Amino acid sequence: MFNDISSPLALLHTRRSGKPRDMIGPGPDADQLHAILAAAIRVPDHGKLAPWRFVIVRADQRAALAGLLTDAYRAEKPEAGRLEIEAMEQFAHQAPSLVVALSSPVAGSKIPVWEQELSAGAAIMNLLNAAHASGFVGGWLTGWAAYSDAVRDAFGTADERIAGFVFLGSPSREMEERPRPDFETVVREWTK
């Protein structure tokens, strides 16, 4: 049914999340990443608030990110073991490209924060779709770092939240399809 990958709908049906630890180069170059992010911001945005931001973490900044994550983790969990610290280091260095996505709701707006947060999620999904359309694989991760105030403060303000770390690259192996919900389980017609 969706064999023609050139079809936009087929493209959406073939998008999969990749594991950042399994991503290899190449990742998007500066121009490709610009085009991907330009597509990401074309989402529903009630009130035209742009309640999201993206922060690109360049390859030459990954060691600094690892230091930030390690320091913040140790401050919260002084009893952290070697494997936990190594996980912070690995997280910072996986995949060729990294974009930190922030939910940045506009305070005092008549648009509910929930709608603004949904727009941030939509922007990340557009980023992933644009990466896939550009021939890359993306992975959207949260985890401990997304909920750390110290990590958040390095990328944004106390009024923002890290919506996710979006890793981009090329798959190192064939992407596996994961189980999807049965259509009938998640879709129904409303009847009064």
Question: What pLDDT, in 10s, does the model give residues 86-145?
Answer: 999 999 999 999 999 999 999 999 999 999 999 999 999 999 999 999 999 999 999 999
Check pLDDT > 90 for residue 4.
no
3: pLDDT strictly greater than 80: no
Per-chain mean pLDDT for the chain: 95
pLDDT tens, 12-40?
Answer: 988 999 999 999 999 999 999 999 999 99
The whole-number average pLDDT for the span 46-55 is 97
Task: Name which of 74, 64, 138, 46 is nearest 101 in CA terms.
Answer: 138
> Percentage of residues in the chain with pLDDT exceeding 70?
97
DSSP assignment letter at 123:
H
Burial of 4 (0-12, 13-18, 19+ CB in 10 A): exposed
Q: Given a cut of 50, is residue 2 above it in pLDDT? A: no
Q: Which residues of 129-165 are buried (b: 16+ CB within 10 A; e: fewer)?
A: bbbbeeebbbbbbeebbbebeebbebbbeeebbbbbb
- Burial label, 178 (beta-carbon count in 10 A; 0-12, 13-18, 19+): exposed
Give pTM, 2 decimals: 0.93
Predicted pLDDT of residue 7 = 80
Domain edges within the chain: 16-58+95-172
Could you read off the pLDDT of 72-89 as tens digits, one per residue?
Answer: 999 999 999 999 999 999
Nearest residue to 96 via CA among 122, 135, 41: 135
Pinpoint the alpha helices (H) of 41-180: 62-76, 82-93, 113-133, 149-155
Q: What ranges make up the beta strands (E) of the chain?
A: 23-24, 52-57, 97-103, 137-141, 161-171
**CATH architecture label of 16-58+95-172:** 3-Layer(aba) Sandwich (3.40)
Compute the C-alpha angle 103/105/107, nearest 5°.
155
6, pLDDT greater than 80: no
